[in-house]
Structure 1
Amino acid sequence: MEKLNVNPNRMELAELKSKLAVAKQGHELLKGKQDELVHRFVDMVRESKDLRARLTEQFSDLYQQFALVGAELSPDFLEEAFLSSGNSANITGSEASIMGVRVPQFDFLLPKDEISYPYSFSYTNSELDASLRKCHRMMQDIIHLAELEKSCELLANEIEKIRRRVNALEFMTIPQLQESIRYIQMRLDENERGNLVRLIKVKNKIKK
């Protein structure tokens, strides 16, 4: 590793040793943060994958239910029935922090626990009611999946940024500082040996 451009003196040596200590401490902290973020990321990816698989299966069942409904009721009636909604809902967004990473949080709020149907029961069948109840139950999971997948994206970006910083410290900054410290120490040792040799020669001349 190429050393830094430094002057071989004790003041420079002390400054480089201080920088090396800070670099090692920063590397340790960043590595710990990276490991924890990776752990959180893996857990969230696993949860997201399971939730997506469950929703995919539910959507498949829901499609089949609506197909049955469409076979018994006219498309015009269904379109008219769904033009007006019997429920209103609110989605509020906020933020949470995961190891300093700001991730979204969504809250899906319904004014009523029970779904209300925007049509008369006299002209529909039970399959349509069951389909709407399934949609009602799925909404919370759909919003949570969006929250998870966006959080995974943000965590992945942060992990990549930290990885680059950790690698820069581990493979460039710290080795350069260590090489520079070795160089200065070697030069100082050489100067001390040279001074010692000169002192011995002077002492020998004085004795003669």
Structure 2
Amino acid sequence: MPGTHVNPTRMELTRQKARLETAVKGHRLLKDKRDELMRRFLDLVRENMELRLKVESGIKDANRRLVLARAGMSEETLQGALMAPKQEVYLTSSTKNVMSVDVPVFSTKTRTSDPNDIYSYGFAFTSGDLDASVKSLADILPDMLRLAEVEKSCQLMAAEIEKTRRRVNALEHVIIPEAQENIRMITMKLDENERSTQVRLMKVKEMVLQDARKEEEARKAS
């Protein structure tokens, strides 16, 4: 049954056909969008898993090295070495559009280009384990930023996939069947009206012929 009352007119029939055509086209486009979003989402999920394992491994290695450095250095020396960072990292954030989803993009720029500026201390009174810990953290910084991008992108894409899925279901199970039912109902009503009109015309024609025969018989009788 149609969801709303429609007038069984040819104009309404044309409107419902146009509505159905638009809904079918929109359904096809949204399904394609949903499928492409799912493909990209799954790619991001796989990348997210790889990055998370890599980042966790890097942090674990940095912590292990820091524990060794703490064991070989006094607490005062360690705190003094890390008290005044020499390098600075500037983070900028922007977005890019992926299938109508604005996903974040992070980029970094260091104050200097010298890779040795990550060490804020001299090497005379510090251990090599501290150097390795600092180097490990510096190396995984790009992966940490990319992990943040990917995780946020996954959240945004998941929300867009759900929104698109609801739209696809609404078109597939509500709007398209409703338009099809309205077209069927209007077509049946118009056909019924046309048959009724033909019957009335045939009766009128028969009455006209009968009147014509009666007039002819009366004329002959006179």
C-alpha distance in structure 2 between counterparts of 1:46 and 1:26, whole Å: 30
1:21-77 CA distance string (max 9 Å, x none)? 111111111111111111111111110111101111222222211111111112222
Q: Is this contact kept in 2: 1:4–1:177, CA < 8 A? A: no
Whichever residue aligns with residue 198 of structure 2, its letter is L
Partner of 2:156: 154
Asked if 2 retains the 8 angstrom alpha-carbon contact of 1:96 and 1:105, the reply is yes
The TM-score with structure 2 as length reference comes to 0.88
Q: How does 1:53-202 map to 2 (within 5 A)?
A: 53-110=53-110, 111-116=112-117, 117-202=119-204
Q: What residue identity is the alignment partner of 1:7?
A: N
Q: For residue 115 of structure 1, give the secondary structure of its aligned residue in structure 2.
A: helix
Structure 2: segments with no counterpart, 5+ residues: 211-222
The residue type paired with residue 195 of structure 2 is R
**Residue equivalent to 1:35:** 35
Unaligned runs of 5+ in 1: none
Bigger radius of gyration:
2
SS of the aligned residue for 2:91 comes to: strand
C-alpha contact 1:92 1:106 (8 A) present in aligned 2: yes
Tell me the matched-pair count: 208
2:218 is aligned to: none
* Percent of residue pairs identical: 44
